[in-house]
Amino acid sequence: MAETFAATQDRHEIDVENVVYLRHGETELQATIYRPRGDGPFPMMIDLHGGAWCSGDRHSNKLLSETLARNGIIVAALDFRQPPEAGYPGAMADINFGVRWLKADAAKFGGNPNKVGMVGISSGGQQAMLVAMRPHDARYAEISQSETNGHDANVGCVVLCWPVIDPLGRYQYAKQRIAADDGYPTQLSGALASHDKFWITEDAMSEGSPLRILERDEDIALPPVLYLQGEDDQMHPRPHLDRFVELYHERGGQLDLGLYPGEVEGFVTRTPNSLANQKSGTKRIIAFIHQHLG
Protein backbone atom coordinates (compact mmCIF):
# COMPACT_ATOMS: atom_id res chain seq x y z
CA MET A 1 0.00 0.00 0.00
CA ALA A 2 1.33 3.45 -0.89
CA GLU A 3 2.04 5.87 1.92
CA THR A 4 -0.76 8.30 2.62
CA PHE A 5 -1.29 11.10 5.08
CA ALA A 6 -4.50 12.70 6.20
CA ALA A 7 -4.94 16.41 5.78
CA THR A 8 -4.96 18.69 8.83
CA GLN A 9 -5.60 22.38 9.33
CA ASP A 10 -2.24 23.53 7.94
CA ARG A 11 -1.38 27.11 8.88
CA HIS A 12 2.28 27.52 7.90
CA GLU A 13 4.60 27.10 4.97
CA ILE A 14 7.70 25.24 6.15
CA ASP A 15 11.44 25.11 5.58
CA VAL A 16 13.47 21.91 5.92
CA GLU A 17 17.21 21.69 6.54
CA ASN A 18 19.74 19.09 7.63
CA VAL A 19 22.30 19.98 10.29
CA VAL A 20 25.02 18.09 12.12
CA TYR A 21 24.20 18.06 15.83
CA LEU A 22 26.87 15.68 17.15
CA ARG A 23 30.11 14.01 16.07
CA HIS A 24 31.66 10.78 17.27
CA GLY A 25 35.14 10.90 15.79
CA GLU A 26 34.62 11.08 12.02
CA THR A 27 30.98 9.97 12.30
CA GLU A 28 28.45 12.76 11.98
CA LEU A 29 24.95 12.52 13.43
CA GLN A 30 22.43 14.71 11.67
CA ALA A 31 19.09 16.22 12.54
CA THR A 32 16.49 17.22 9.98
CA ILE A 33 14.80 20.44 11.10
CA TYR A 34 11.22 21.05 9.99
CA ARG A 35 10.57 24.71 10.67
CA PRO A 36 7.32 26.65 10.25
CA ARG A 37 7.56 30.08 8.67
CA GLY A 38 6.07 32.89 10.71
CA ASP A 39 6.42 34.69 13.97
CA GLY A 40 7.94 32.53 16.67
CA PRO A 41 9.21 31.44 18.98
CA PHE A 42 7.58 28.08 18.28
CA PRO A 43 7.38 25.00 20.49
CA MET A 44 9.87 22.30 19.54
CA MET A 45 9.70 18.51 19.41
CA ILE A 46 12.49 15.95 19.13
CA ASP A 47 11.41 13.12 16.80
CA LEU A 48 12.79 9.61 17.45
CA HIS A 49 12.21 7.04 14.75
CA GLY A 50 11.36 3.39 15.26
CA GLY A 51 12.93 0.30 13.73
CA ALA A 52 13.48 -1.98 16.73
CA TRP A 53 16.50 0.13 17.80
CA CYS A 54 18.55 -1.19 14.88
CA SER A 55 17.10 0.26 11.66
CA GLY A 56 15.27 3.32 10.36
CA ASP A 57 16.60 6.86 10.25
CA ARG A 58 15.59 10.46 10.81
CA HIS A 59 13.49 10.46 7.62
CA SER A 60 11.23 7.62 8.77
CA ASN A 61 8.55 9.95 10.16
CA LYS A 62 8.85 12.62 7.46
CA LEU A 63 5.11 12.84 6.82
CA LEU A 64 4.24 13.37 10.47
CA SER A 65 7.11 15.83 10.98
CA GLU A 66 5.98 17.94 8.03
CA THR A 67 2.43 18.02 9.34
CA LEU A 68 3.50 19.11 12.82
CA ALA A 69 5.63 21.89 11.32
CA ARG A 70 2.73 23.10 9.17
CA ASN A 71 0.78 23.38 12.40
CA GLY A 72 3.25 25.63 14.18
CA ILE A 73 5.65 23.11 15.76
CA ILE A 74 9.38 22.88 15.05
CA VAL A 75 10.49 19.27 14.68
CA ALA A 76 14.09 18.06 15.01
CA ALA A 77 14.22 14.50 13.68
CA LEU A 78 17.38 12.89 15.02
CA ASP A 79 19.68 10.20 13.79
CA PHE A 80 21.34 8.39 16.69
CA ARG A 81 23.81 5.54 16.90
CA GLN A 82 22.51 2.03 16.31
CA PRO A 83 24.20 -1.38 16.45
CA PRO A 84 26.94 -2.19 15.66
CA GLU A 85 28.17 1.37 16.36
CA ALA A 86 26.35 1.53 19.71
CA GLY A 87 23.49 -0.06 21.56
CA TYR A 88 22.21 0.63 25.04
CA PRO A 89 23.01 3.06 26.68
CA GLY A 90 25.07 4.75 23.93
CA ALA A 91 22.03 5.68 21.86
CA MET A 92 20.45 7.26 24.92
CA ALA A 93 23.49 9.52 25.30
CA ASP A 94 23.01 10.78 21.74
CA ILE A 95 19.33 11.52 22.38
CA ASN A 96 19.94 13.20 25.74
CA PHE A 97 22.54 15.40 24.07
CA GLY A 98 20.11 16.08 21.22
CA VAL A 99 17.59 17.56 23.64
CA ARG A 100 20.22 19.82 25.21
CA TRP A 101 21.59 20.81 21.78
CA LEU A 102 18.13 21.79 20.53
CA LYS A 103 17.55 23.96 23.58
CA ALA A 104 20.95 25.63 23.11
CA ASP A 105 20.25 26.36 19.43
CA ALA A 106 16.56 27.18 19.83
CA ALA A 107 16.88 30.84 18.83
CA LYS A 108 18.68 29.86 15.62
CA PHE A 109 15.64 27.84 14.54
CA GLY A 110 12.99 30.25 15.83
CA GLY A 111 12.10 28.03 18.77
CA ASN A 112 11.54 28.40 22.49
CA PRO A 113 14.14 26.56 24.62
CA ASN A 114 11.63 26.32 27.46
CA LYS A 115 9.07 24.55 25.28
CA VAL A 116 10.67 21.28 24.18
CA GLY A 117 9.07 17.83 24.02
CA MET A 118 9.64 14.48 22.35
CA VAL A 119 7.67 12.22 20.04
CA GLY A 120 8.77 8.60 19.60
CA ILE A 121 7.58 5.78 17.38
CA SER A 122 7.75 2.11 18.55
CA SER A 123 11.33 1.61 19.83
CA GLY A 124 11.74 5.37 19.52
CA GLY A 125 8.81 5.71 21.90
CA GLN A 126 10.64 3.61 24.48
CA GLN A 127 13.73 5.77 24.03
CA ALA A 128 11.75 9.01 24.31
CA MET A 129 10.05 7.88 27.51
CA LEU A 130 13.31 6.65 29.01
CA VAL A 131 15.19 9.91 28.34
CA ALA A 132 12.19 11.89 29.65
CA MET A 133 12.05 9.83 32.85
CA ARG A 134 15.80 10.04 33.46
CA PRO A 135 16.93 13.45 32.14
CA HIS A 136 19.87 13.61 34.56
CA ASP A 137 21.07 9.99 34.36
CA ALA A 138 24.87 10.23 34.26
CA ARG A 139 25.15 7.58 31.54
CA TYR A 140 22.69 9.38 29.27
CA ALA A 141 24.14 12.85 29.98
CA GLU A 142 27.77 11.82 29.53
CA ILE A 143 28.34 13.79 26.30
CA SER A 144 29.38 17.29 27.29
CA GLN A 145 30.04 20.26 25.02
CA SER A 146 30.41 23.90 25.99
CA GLU A 147 27.50 25.01 23.78
CA THR A 148 25.02 22.99 25.85
CA ASN A 149 26.18 24.28 29.24
CA GLY A 150 23.25 25.49 31.28
CA HIS A 151 20.76 23.23 29.49
CA ASP A 152 19.36 19.91 30.71
CA ALA A 153 17.33 17.15 29.05
CA ASN A 154 14.05 17.80 30.89
CA VAL A 155 11.11 17.92 28.50
CA GLY A 156 7.64 19.42 28.75
CA CYS A 157 5.72 16.52 27.21
CA VAL A 158 6.12 13.17 25.48
CA VAL A 159 4.09 11.67 22.63
CA LEU A 160 4.30 7.87 22.45
CA CYS A 161 3.10 6.10 19.31
CA TRP A 162 2.83 2.35 20.02
CA PRO A 163 6.04 2.27 22.10
CA VAL A 164 7.94 -0.83 23.18
CA ILE A 165 7.16 0.28 26.72
CA ASP A 166 8.63 -2.89 28.29
CA PRO A 167 11.59 -4.22 26.23
CA LEU A 168 12.04 -7.32 28.41
CA GLY A 169 8.33 -8.08 28.38
CA ARG A 170 8.17 -7.75 24.58
CA TYR A 171 11.28 -9.97 24.25
CA GLN A 172 9.66 -12.69 26.33
CA TYR A 173 6.34 -12.25 24.53
CA ALA A 174 8.04 -12.64 21.13
CA LYS A 175 9.82 -15.81 22.23
CA GLN A 176 6.57 -17.30 23.51
CA ARG A 177 4.61 -16.45 20.36
CA ILE A 178 7.31 -17.84 18.08
CA ALA A 179 7.67 -21.04 20.13
CA ALA A 180 3.91 -21.57 20.06
CA ASP A 181 3.83 -20.97 16.29
CA ASP A 182 0.39 -19.42 16.78
CA GLY A 183 0.16 -17.25 13.71
CA TYR A 184 2.37 -14.55 15.21
CA PRO A 185 3.28 -11.45 13.16
CA THR A 186 6.26 -12.20 10.94
CA GLN A 187 7.98 -9.02 12.17
CA LEU A 188 8.39 -10.55 15.62
CA SER A 189 11.31 -12.72 14.50
CA GLY A 190 13.27 -9.72 13.28
CA ALA A 191 12.35 -7.75 16.39
CA LEU A 192 13.66 -10.55 18.60
CA ALA A 193 17.05 -10.43 16.88
CA SER A 194 17.13 -6.65 17.22
CA HIS A 195 16.49 -6.89 20.97
CA ASP A 196 19.64 -9.01 21.23
CA LYS A 197 21.73 -6.60 19.14
CA PHE A 198 20.72 -3.44 20.98
CA TRP A 199 20.31 -4.62 24.56
CA ILE A 200 22.69 -7.62 24.67
CA THR A 201 21.29 -8.88 27.99
CA GLU A 202 17.88 -9.32 29.57
CA ASP A 203 19.13 -7.41 32.60
CA ALA A 204 19.69 -4.36 30.37
CA MET A 205 16.20 -4.76 28.89
CA SER A 206 14.75 -4.69 32.39
CA GLU A 207 16.92 -1.80 33.57
CA GLY A 208 15.88 0.30 30.55
CA SER A 209 12.19 -0.57 30.66
CA PRO A 210 9.94 2.44 31.41
CA LEU A 211 7.30 0.05 32.77
CA ARG A 212 9.71 -1.69 35.13
CA ILE A 213 11.16 1.65 36.24
CA LEU A 214 7.69 2.48 37.52
CA GLU A 215 7.37 -0.94 39.12
CA ARG A 216 10.69 -0.38 40.90
CA ASP A 217 9.40 3.00 42.11
CA GLU A 218 12.50 4.84 40.92
CA ASP A 219 12.84 8.58 41.47
CA ILE A 220 12.00 9.91 37.99
CA ALA A 221 10.56 12.84 36.07
CA LEU A 222 6.90 12.47 35.06
CA PRO A 223 6.14 14.81 32.14
CA PRO A 224 2.66 14.76 30.55
CA VAL A 225 2.28 11.84 28.14
CA LEU A 226 0.06 11.14 25.14
CA TYR A 227 0.00 7.39 24.39
CA LEU A 228 -1.50 6.18 21.07
CA GLN A 229 -1.93 2.57 19.97
CA GLY A 230 -4.06 0.51 17.62
CA GLU A 231 -6.30 -2.06 19.30
CA ASP A 232 -5.22 -4.78 16.83
CA ASP A 233 -1.49 -4.19 17.39
CA GLN A 234 0.23 -7.52 18.08
CA MET A 235 3.77 -6.12 18.09
CA HIS A 236 3.29 -4.07 21.27
CA PRO A 237 1.44 -6.19 23.85
CA ARG A 238 -1.65 -4.56 25.32
CA PRO A 239 -1.01 -5.76 28.92
CA HIS A 240 2.22 -3.74 28.96
CA LEU A 241 0.33 -0.62 27.88
CA ASP A 242 -2.39 -1.14 30.50
CA ARG A 243 0.11 -1.65 33.32
CA PHE A 244 2.19 1.38 32.34
CA VAL A 245 -0.88 3.62 32.19
CA GLU A 246 -2.05 2.35 35.59
CA LEU A 247 1.32 2.95 37.26
CA TYR A 248 1.90 6.34 35.63
CA HIS A 249 -1.41 7.55 36.99
CA GLU A 250 -0.66 6.07 40.41
CA ARG A 251 2.60 8.04 40.53
CA GLY A 252 0.66 11.25 39.83
CA GLY A 253 1.67 11.60 36.19
CA GLN A 254 -0.70 12.92 33.54
CA LEU A 255 -1.26 10.43 30.73
CA ASP A 256 -3.83 10.68 27.95
CA LEU A 257 -4.57 7.39 26.17
CA GLY A 258 -5.86 7.02 22.63
CA LEU A 259 -6.86 3.53 21.41
CA TYR A 260 -7.88 3.06 17.78
CA PRO A 261 -10.13 0.14 16.75
CA GLY A 262 -9.00 -1.95 13.79
CA GLU A 263 -5.51 -0.44 13.66
CA VAL A 264 -2.09 -2.05 14.03
CA GLU A 265 1.24 -0.27 14.42
CA GLY A 266 2.00 2.53 11.96
CA PHE A 267 -1.50 3.93 11.54
CA VAL A 268 -0.47 7.53 12.24
CA THR A 269 2.84 7.57 10.39
CA ARG A 270 2.34 5.22 7.43
CA THR A 271 -0.59 3.16 6.22
CA PRO A 272 -3.78 3.33 8.28
CA ASN A 273 -6.71 1.04 7.74
CA SER A 274 -8.83 4.14 8.30
CA LEU A 275 -7.85 7.64 7.16
CA ALA A 276 -10.24 8.91 9.82
CA ASN A 277 -8.13 7.22 12.50
CA GLN A 278 -4.95 8.69 11.05
CA LYS A 279 -6.45 12.15 10.95
CA SER A 280 -7.84 11.82 14.47
CA GLY A 281 -4.52 10.60 15.85
CA THR A 282 -2.57 13.35 14.13
CA LYS A 283 -4.94 16.08 15.33
CA ARG A 284 -4.72 14.71 18.85
CA ILE A 285 -0.91 14.89 18.75
CA ILE A 286 -0.97 18.49 17.51
CA ALA A 287 -3.51 19.57 20.14
CA PHE A 288 -1.59 17.82 22.94
CA ILE A 289 1.68 19.51 22.00
CA HIS A 290 0.12 22.94 21.86
CA GLN A 291 -1.70 22.32 25.15
CA HIS A 292 1.53 21.58 26.99
CA LEU A 293 4.11 23.61 25.07
CA GLY A 294 2.03 26.53 23.82
Mean pLDDT of 63-75: 96
Is the previous residue joined to 89 through a cis bond, with omega within 30 degrees of 0? yes
CATH number, domain at 270? 3.40.50.1820
pLDDT (0 to 100) of residue 10: 66
Counting the structural domains of the chain, the total is: 1
Mean pLDDT of 192-221: 98
What residue numbers bound the domain in which 50 lies? Answer: 14-165+219-293
Pairing mode of beta strands 158-161, 111-121: parallel
* pLDDT, tens only, 150-166: 999 999 999 999 999 99
Residue positions counted in the chain: 294
Q: Identify the three-state secondary structure at position 131.
A: helix
Residue 93 maps to a domain: yes
Residue 202 maps to a domain: no
**pLDDT band of 1, cuts 50, 70, 90:** very low
Residue 52 maps to a domain: yes
User: What are the start-end ranges of the H helices in the chain?
Assistant: 62-70, 90-104, 106-109, 123-133, 167-180, 187-199, 202-207, 210-215, 238-250, 275-293
Cβ–Cβ < 8 Å for 266, 51: no
pLDDT (0 to 100) of residue 273: 77
Q: Is the pLDDT of residue 8 over 90?
A: no
Please count the CA atoms within 13 angstroms of the CA of 256 that sit on its side-chain side. Answer: 13
The whole-model pTM stands at 0.95
